[in-house]
């Protein structure tokens, strides 16, 4: 039996590498929830493979937790046409995001902070299929646009400022 030549071994190795790369790409594409439409400051995606700094046009995947830093935000364009703007000092976990004819559903978890979003095809097809969890409740979104914020001590100053501005505006 004749041994393969160096050229045949190199071709075989190249084919194996390309097949592996294609399988990785197909897996990532199947789990891609959306992509970064806009970004300001430091935003990190935490996933099973560690963490990565996000840039404009980067993909975001199911299972990743997006964390915005101080004075930072991210706008995510989801695969179904939905968009979410995640506020500074926030964390959003993408637990599920599928928009196919056979399967349709989204589950986002706002761990902390806030977001403003416009729903897409998933909520249009079936409003019950689009959910947002918080530390205290799971919400079913029944409209096309919503704003959600988890307030702890960080909101007290903003609420006081809002009330003060309203009083000042009414006093003249």
CB 54 within 8 A of CB 72: no
**What's the CATH fold of domain 33-170?**
Jelly Rolls (2.60.120)
Please give the pLDDT value at position 7: 66
Q: What is the pLDDT of residue 6?
A: 66
- Enter the DSSP assignment of 120: -
- Residue recorded with tokens 């501005």: 165
* Beta carbons within 10 angstroms of residue 168's beta carbon: 9
| pTM of model > 0.95 | no
Q: What is the mean pLDDT of each run of 10 residues along the chain (172 residues)?
A: 65 50 42 97 96 98 97 97 96 96 93 94 92 85 81 64 44 40
The DSSP line for 90-112 is -EEEEEEEEESSS-EEEEEEEEE
The domain ranges of the chain are: 33-170
> CB within 8 A of 155, min separation 6: which ones?
149
Contact 134, 150 (CB under 8 A): yes
């Amino acid at each position: 039996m004749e041994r393969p030549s160096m050229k045949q071994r190199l071709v075989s190795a190249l084919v194996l590498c390309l097949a592996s790369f294609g399988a990785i790409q197909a897996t990532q594409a199947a789990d891609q929830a959306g992509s970064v439409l806009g970004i300001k400051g430091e935003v990190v995606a935490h996933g099973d493979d560690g963490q990565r700094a996000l840039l404009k046009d980067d993909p975001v995947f199911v299972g990743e937790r997006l964390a915005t830093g101080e004075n930072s935000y991210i706008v995510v364009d989801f695969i179904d046409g939905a968009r979410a703007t995640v506020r500074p000092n926030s964390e959003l976990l993408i637990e599920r995001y599928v928009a196919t004819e056979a399967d349709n559903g989204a589950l986002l978890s706002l761990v902390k902070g806030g977001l403003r979003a416009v729903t897409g095809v998933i909520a249009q097809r079936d409003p019950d299929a689009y959910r947002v969890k918080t530390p205290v409740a799971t919400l079913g979104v029944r409209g096309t646009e919503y704003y959600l914020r988890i307030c702890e001590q960080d909101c007290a100053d903003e609420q006081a400022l809002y009330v003060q501005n309203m009083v000042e505006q009414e006093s003249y």
